Structure 1
Amino acid sequence: MAAEAAEFSPEYAALVHLINSRLSAGPLDIQILPDASFLLESTLGEIINNTLGVPKAALARAFLTARRIFFKYLDNLTENAQVILDSTSIILLFDPEHITAANARKRICLAHRTLPQPEQAKRLKEELWFNKFLVTSKLKRHNKSPTLWFHRKWLIENFHTVEGALSPKWAEYEVEEVILISAEHHPKNYYAWDYMRWVIKSRPGLDPRSSQGMNMQISHLMQKWCMAHTSDSSGWSFLAWMLLLHPNPDPRVSQNLQANTGAEVLDFALMMNLKNLSLWKFLQEILGFTNSEIIHDVRFEYLMNLSEMRGNLPPGSTLQVFARKSLIAIGEYEAI
């Protein structure tokens, strides 16, 4: 088949080789270049410093070949699994919303269920690596692809029971090495954050008793991430979701975490003179609507700063309007 693919398109053969040579071999970024003749020794694609550089014209020609091969062998998918995997890797690299290609890869993974456990685990690890390669790329269509994020969720949902496929720390890996990298490359990445909520809520295959420790760890991690990405409203929204909707069974533990997070973020915002609306909305969410004695002191400080913002900022400015409306809403809450 490789000889046939090369006959059709040298670009297809070269890109398939480059991708397959890196399966499970560590991180790989991708850059699609309008004209790579002055950057790459090869006009077909090249890996430099863990980045796959692909000339746009070469990728387009590889895609045409991949599509032809894919539909030629799709009806005999099981017998031609590697051919389908090769062709769909190029198809999804070119078009991350190609649902037929993604579904074909799902069918191959399901077919591996009949094979020995080590082969099942190997297939899942390679599929997760390839998917990570796409969703953590700096390419917006891949990074924010609902098809690719759903595919990753489907893989973990259906194969978490395969021994050796996922590590005991797979959820932490997903957060740190997949989701937050993707979110950093493209802010307000709805599909990445939605996948993260699923990971936290579902945790397939993990001991439920570990959830509280993991929640605490992720809350601390997210606070640091949000303070480094203060304008990303999706990050602040997720952190509030973690603090308010996934509390510790001991209310005092949850309230202490909420108070400490609020105090540290408020101090940081004042020290840096931050005007990011998403940050102040986060503080309102975790400090504004509570009667907890543990949160009382930091809540009072937050309200004092809201009052100063309402009085000192230019009338009608975004943050001044927010402070005014926030104080009204909190006053109505306290009157109940």
Structure 2
Amino acid sequence: MSRALDSSVKEALKHADHGKVFRDIVSAVNQRFDSFLEFEVLGLSHPLEPGISYLQDENAIAIPKLCLVQAFLMARETLNGGIGIVKSENFQTIRDCTAVTLLLDPEHLTAANLRKKVLENEINTNTEEIQSLLNAEKYFVDSLLTSRLHRHTKSPTLWNHRRWVIDQANRRGLLGDIEQDLKDVVFVSGVRHPRNYYAWCHARLLVDIGTPDRELLSRLVTAAESWCFSHHDDISGWAFLHFLLAKCPELAPTAVDKALKLTQSFQWRNESVWCFLRGVATLGRADITQQVVSHAAIGLKASQRDGDEGKSLEQALWWLETYGANE
């Protein structure tokens, strides 16, 4: 979503009731469902009737850009006090204003830092409510990270904020379900924004701090395989699968066998899948290396026969011949 405003929007902002729109959108953002909220910003091609600030269908909320800007202006005016507002312990006002701000601009670092400050103060004063407070913050940021908002799903500010919340929970033994976090947040964000570097780095963080046992690692590998097989041209997902297999090399033969069968069946010759295969082939198993080399050679011959360049296969073979034998 672009932050630029055209002349008609600027003119409309001069004659609008920002306070009412702000309250309407805050009431929408503060809702909770079994699944995350799904936000969408509507353009001028979707005008609403006067007095209506958003549309809603269960957990899906669509907000016109004009209304979102109106609410943002009200939030900015309220937040002019900055840290002073936080010290006044008006926590709900801060949460409301920063929620609207981050919904419009996911890189608004001040808003993210204010939410951290508020949450820290609330945790220190309400020790019995720590888990519910952390869960509420996770719900909000996860709703932004998984919505169909292009800039939000790959926002380093939002992912860093989620990491901070996870750290707070981990310190208190309230980390939660790693597998569910991966499936519901990281995997969804990876679909919303392909090659989502920040999402997959967060996935590694969850695995590292969660220290999963072998059974959980096996389930994570299966889940990551399923995601990669459905998005075979996304190198970030394959890199995460490689990361998991490096932690449990005994699962690598089965994973490689599945990947090779699909690669041969669907004639995948893209760089993403072959970077994964050549990397996993050097985890210390000579049989895997030979298996990948054999399939790469067969695939290269087929690509030459079909008139394709097959550069990814050539590079994979060269890499395995150069480095695979040294493992």
What TM-score results when the alignment is normalised by the length of structure 2? Answer: 0.86
Corresponding position of 1:320: 310
Counterpart AA for 1:59: L
Which deviates further from its counterpart, 301-310 or 145-154? 301-310
**C-alpha deviation, 1:323, in angstroms:** 2.4
> Residues 42-191 of structure 1: matches in 2 within 5 Å?
43-72=52-81, 74-78=83-87, 79-162=89-172, 166-167=175-176, 170-191=177-198
- Judged with a 3 Å threshold, the aligned counterparts in structure 2 of structure 1 residues 36 and 89 are, in CA distance, closer, same or farther, namely farther
| Overall identity of the aligned pairs, in % | 27
Residue from 212, 217, 220 that aligns with 1:218? 220
Taking the aligned partners of 2:253 and 2:158, their CA distance within structure 1 comes to 37
Deviation at 1:334, TM superposition (A): 5.8
The AA in structure 1 aligned to 2:290 is F
The gaps in structure 1 that reach 5 residues or longer are: 1-5, 248-253
**Residue in 1 aligned with 2:9?**
none
1:329–1:166 Cα change, 3 Å? closer
Contact residue 40 and residue 46 of structure 1 kept, 8 A: no
Q: Could you tell me which amino acid in structure 2 is paired with residue 62 of structure 1?
A: A
- Unpaired stretches in structure 2, ≥5 consecutive residues: 1-15
1:309 to 290, 299, 303: 299
Distance 1:286 1:316 in 2: 27
Pairwise CA distance, 1:166: 4.7
Match of 2:209 among 192, 199, 202: 202
Relative to structure 1, is the Cα distance of residues 211 and 319 closer, same or farther in structure 2, using a 3 angstrom cutoff? Answer: farther
Structural mapping, 1:20-59, within 5 Å? 20=30, 22-23=31-32, 25-35=34-44, 37=46, 43-59=52-68
Cα contact 2:289–2:324 (8 A) shared by 1: no
Residues 102, 147 of structure 1: 8 Å contact kept: yes
Query: CA-to-partner distance for each residue in 1:139-179, whole Å, 9 max, x for gaps?
Result: 1111111011011110111233447x554xx2112111111
Structure 1 stretch 309-318 or stretch 101-110: which is displaced more?
A: 309-318
Aligned-residue Cα RMSD (Å) equals 2.6
Post-superposition offset of 1:299: 4.1
Q: Secondary structure at the match of 1:195?
A: helix
Distance (whole Å) between structure 2 residues aligned to residue 318 and residue 155 of structure 1: 48
Cα distance in 2 for partners of 1:272, 1:39 equals 46
Q: What SS is found at the alignment partner of 1:138?
A: coil
- Check whether the contact 2:260–2:295 (CA below 8 A) recurs between aligned residues: no
Distance 2:52 2:274 in 1: 49
The aligned amino acid for 1:199 is L
Say which SS state the counterpart of residue 268 (structure 2) adopts.
coil
Distance 1:98 1:308, change over 3 A: same
Cα displacement (A) at 1:214: 1.9
Q: Would you say the 8 A contact 1:77–1:108 is kept in 2?
A: yes
Aligned to 1:30, the other structure's residue is in SS state strand
The question of whether the paired residues in 1 share the 8 Å contact of 2:54 and 2:61 is answered with yes
Change (3 A) 1:188 1:62: same
Aligned partner of 2:266 in structure 1 is: 272
CA distance in 2, matches of 1:225, 1:159: 27
What are the superposed Cα offsets for residues 276-311 of structure 1, whole Å, 9 maximum, x if unpaired?
321122111112x36636xx1x54343223223333
Cα displacement (A) at 1:216: 1.6
- 1:49 to 1:325, Cα distance in 2 relative to 1, 3 A: same
1:318 positional shift? 7.2
- Structure-2 change in CA distance of 1:335 and 1:110 (3 Å): closer
Residue-by-residue CA offset, 1:31-90 (whole Å, 9 max, x unaligned): 100036556786311221421100001101110111001123641314211111111110
SS of 2:61's equivalent in the other structure is strand
**CA distance in structure 1 between the partners assigned to 2:49 and 2:254 by the alignment:** 51
Change (3 A) 1:269 1:113: same
Of 238, 241, 255, the residue aligned with 2:240 is 238
TM-score (norm 1): 0.84
Deviation at 1:7, TM superposition (A): 6.5
Alignment of 1:192 onto 2:185: no
Supply the AA of the counterpart residue of 2:179. E
User: 1:58 is aligned with what amino acid?
Assistant: C
